[in-house]
């Protein structure tokens, strides 16, 4: 194990691939590995890229990776597909990317599927990001499809969140409904070569102004790109780096990390406290009280407080 840790920290690709699988499987080995890597993390700039299916997320991530590589930065790409257990979209995108970055040791691509449990996906994604961070990648680009709670959860892991729209998908409304407007640090209207891009950009801009988005230090820009030709992608890469600079200069970088870790720690505590409590209580006491609730003899609130004070 310690050998694997050393090799991951050295950025060795085969060790990293094995570590990623261990972490994704979520067993005790994976946990021990993550624990050993954790003290060596906190350097990578984590960038979330989310938006509707087919909006051009993979193409854009690919184009961004190319620019960051030209700047001498190393890039890890995580493609998360909560909608399918088979990573249909993610795998398609990966093929294009793998061809584009084939043989470049400064790029590492990993795709992840839901395997039926959406709750675990955000956690698994966080663990994968931790490993890339520990392995020394400068940037970790996390692509997620859709606009549901999983995307919002995953976006919370990112320092910088990019929300992509594309004309003709009818997604402006979808994004706003799902609260993606709230989490975006940068908006991108991709497929700017298509009709309706201008309109989509204006609609987004108006929504931003109406919602008084942004702070005195950051107003989310609305950029237009053509991912397939690379048009506008340099500007997007600049905006990502500017956002990082702003986060660091204002102390937001640390504040965001602390807020996220606070959440994470509380979640773990909640789960562990509950499991601990239930194990101490034993299944018979719980079942008996549940029966009383079902029989309308005791209401759920009273039942809960009875259980909390019950002697095991
Ligand atoms: N015309 C045009 N087509 C684009 C642009 N960007 C991406 N595409 C095309 O749109 C399709 C979808 O692109 P992807 O990058 O796979 O989109 P995605 O959002 O990753 O898709 P999923 O991961 O399946 O949700 C592909 O055929 C791309 O070639 C663009 O700027 N203009
Ligand atoms: Mg994709």
Res 224: pLDDT: 97
Ligand nearest to the CA of residue 55, numbered in listed order: 1
Q: Does position 147 have pLDDT exceeding 70, yes or no?
A: no
Mutate to test the pocket of ligand 1, among 58, 95, 167 (most ligand atoms within 8 A of CB): 58
CB 78 within 8 A of CB 111: yes
Ligand 1 nearest atom to the CA of residue 61, by list position: 15
Q: pTM (2 decimals)?
A: 0.87
Strands 222-224 and 45-51: unpaired
Q: Which tens digit of pLDDT belongs to each residue from 266-284?
A: 988 998 999 999 999 998 9
Average pLDDT over residues 256-260: 88
Strands (E), the chain: 45-51, 75-81, 107-113, 139-145, 160-165, 186-189, 222-224
Task: List, chain by chain if needed, residues with CB within 6 Å of any ligand 1 atom.
Answer: 53-59, 89, 93, 145, 190-191, 193-194, 226-228
* Ligand 1, atom nearest to 190 Cα: 31
| Ligand 1 centroid from CA 213, angstroms | 28
Query: Looking at ligand 1, which residue's alpha carbon is closest to its atom 30?
Result: 191
Q: Which ligand is nearest to the CA of 151?
A: 1
List CB contacts of 45: < 8 A, sequence separation 6 or more.
Answer: 138, 139, 140, 159, 160, 240, 244
Q: What is the pLDDT of residues 3-51, one digit of tens each?
A: 999 999 999 999 999 999 999 888 899 999 999 999 999 999 999 998 8
- Per-residue pLDDT tens for 63-91? 999 999 999 999 999 988 766 555 444 45
Per-residue pLDDT tens for 214-253?
A: 667 789 999 999 999 999 999 999 999 999 999 999 999 9
């Amino acid at each position: 194990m310690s050998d694997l840790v050393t090799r991951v920290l050295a950025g060795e690709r085969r060790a990293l691939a094995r570590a990623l699988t261990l972490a994704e499987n979520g067993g005790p080995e994976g946990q021990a590995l993550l624990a050993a890597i954790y003290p060596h993390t906190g350097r990578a700039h984590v960038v979330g890229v989310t938006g509707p299916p087919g909006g051009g997320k993979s193409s854009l991530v690919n184009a961004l990776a190319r620019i960051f590589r030209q700047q001498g930065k190393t890039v890890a790409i995580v493609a998360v597909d909560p909608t399918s257990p088979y990573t249909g979209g993610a795998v398609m995108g990966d093929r294009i990317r793998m061809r584009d970055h084939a043989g470049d040791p400064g790029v590492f691509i990993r795709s992840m599927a839901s395997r039926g449990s959406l709750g675990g996906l955000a956690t698994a994604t966080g663990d994968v990001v931790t490993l890339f961070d520990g392995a020394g990648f400068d940037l970790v680009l996390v692509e997620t499809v859709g606009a549901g709670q999983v995307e919002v959860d995953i976006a919370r892991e990112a320092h910088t969140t990019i929300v992509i729209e594309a004309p003709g998908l009818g997604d402006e409304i979808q994004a706003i409904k799902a609260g993606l407007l709230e989490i975006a640090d940068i908006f991108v209207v991709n497929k700017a070569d298509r009709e309706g891009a201008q309109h989509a950009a204006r609609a987004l801009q108006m929504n931003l102004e109406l919602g008084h988005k942004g702070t005195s230090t950051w107003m989310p820009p609305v950029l237009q790109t053509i991912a397939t030709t690379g048009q506008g992608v340099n500007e997007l890469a600049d905006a990502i780096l500017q956002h990082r600079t702003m986060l660091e200069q204002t102390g937001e970088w640390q504040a965001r990390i602390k807020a996220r870790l606070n959440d994470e720690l509380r979640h773990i505590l909640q789960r562990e406290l509950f499991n601990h409590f239930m194990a101490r209580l034993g299944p018979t006491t719980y079942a008996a009280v549940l029966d009383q609730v079902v029989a309308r003899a005791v209401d759920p609130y009273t039942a809960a407080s009875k259980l909390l004070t019950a002697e095991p």
